Amino acid sequence: MSKLVIVGTVAFDAIETPFGKTDKILGGAATYIGLSASNFNVDSAAVSVVGGDFPQDYLDLLENRNIDIEGIEIVKDGKTFFWSGKYHNDMNSRDTLVTELNVLEHFNPKVPESYQDADVVMLGNLHPAVQQGVLDQMTKKPKLAILDTMNFWMDIALDDLLSVIKNVDVITINDEEARQLSGEYSLVVAARKIHEMGPKYVVIKKGEHGALLFHNGNVFYAPALPLEEVFDPTGAGDTFAGGFAGYLAKTGDYSFENMKTAVIYGSTLASFCVEKFGTERMQNLTDKEIYKRLDQFKSLTQFDIELT
Ligand code: AMP
């Protein structure tokens, strides 16, 4: 079985959307990535840190989805990373209200020994020096290294970010962040500039407007599934990344052609994530539900046209 290492925050989130508000619930990039990747038959391990305030139930929830949690450090006298955000009425944009790094401030990631030869490394949203720290612990060059990041790290750790970006094959980033990183408005030009920073593959996520995959002058586009109910977009980007990484790890085919399918899996999984608050919808997702939605995806995007 392929091995997948996931690094990212395991967090408390407090979310406000036009449909309601939550107190501190389970969140974090590694949490969403792990839950999403758990739908594929791969051995995955999460590398992260939480405080003594983090409930055992949440760790059990990850373990029950077959995510190895040996690499999640518990700092007994520390507090878990906390993020709070409020969505605008369009549900596509949000304001960050609070980011408390807490135990993340002095985090030194440790990849479990049995995962240091993993096939795929998914560097989820976290301080770029920590992302690099994970890459440095790999005893064998991973077949694929994927990096996700956000504006927060561009604002406070751009140099570290630029140096880890050089070492990855794929970057997944949202449209506004791609613009910030490249200084370009056009996403096509932005992707080209980001290619020049290192990654051969650039995935730009556009929320409810789908995702673009760029490689070598080629571009592939997948729409997001039009949904009746969108309650909370939190974690959709990470869920996309987890589906993308999980599918590629499972198939072991890292070609552009196969990445197109990985984008479809990522978009499909993200479409479930947004239907309920937090991680709720991702906790008990079944293969049958995923299959059905992939089928909907296929009929949404497939058409025949006769070009004469
Ligand atoms: P997404 O909606 O996919 O961008 O991811 C939302 C998740 O990212 C939330 O569960 C947060 O806990 C987490 N998050 C928010 N800000 C940061 C940050 N600066 N670094 C790492 N993770 C973050």
Structure confidence by residue, pLDDT tens digits, 61-75: 999 999 999 999 999
Q: Which atom of ligand 1 is nearest to the CA of 239?
A: 3
Task: Please give the single-letter amino acid code of residue 152.
Answer: F
Contact 299, 266 (CB under 8 A): no
At 93 the pLDDT is 84
pTM: 0.96
Stretches where the chain sits below pLDDT 70 are none
Beta-bridged to residue 49, according to DSSP, are: 73
d(CA 78, CA 169): 34
Ligand 1 centroid to residue 28 C-alpha, Å: 5
How many whole angstroms from 195 Cα to the centroid of ligand 1?
24
- Name the H helices within the chain: 29-37, 56-64, 128-136, 151-156, 158-165, 175-182, 187-197, 236-251, 256-273, 287-301
Q: What is the pLDDT of residue 303?
A: 86
Whether residue 17 has its Cβ less than 6 Å from ligand 1:
no
Q: Class of the 3-301 domain?
A: alpha beta
DSSP annotation of 34? H
Provide the pLDDT for residue 90: 83
Mutate to test the pocket of ligand 1, among 125, 146, 205, 267 (most ligand atoms within 8 A of CB): 125
Can you read off the two tokens belonging to residue 177? 């962040």
Q: For ligand 1, is residue 11 a contact (CB within 6 Å)?
A: yes
Q: Cβ(234) to ligand 1 under 6 A? A: yes
29 CA from centroid of ligand 1 (Å): 5
Give the model's pLDDT for residue 63.
97
Which residues on neighbouring strands pair with residue 82, listed in sequence order? 12, 100
Task: Give 245 Cα–ligand 1 centroid separation in angstroms.
Answer: 18
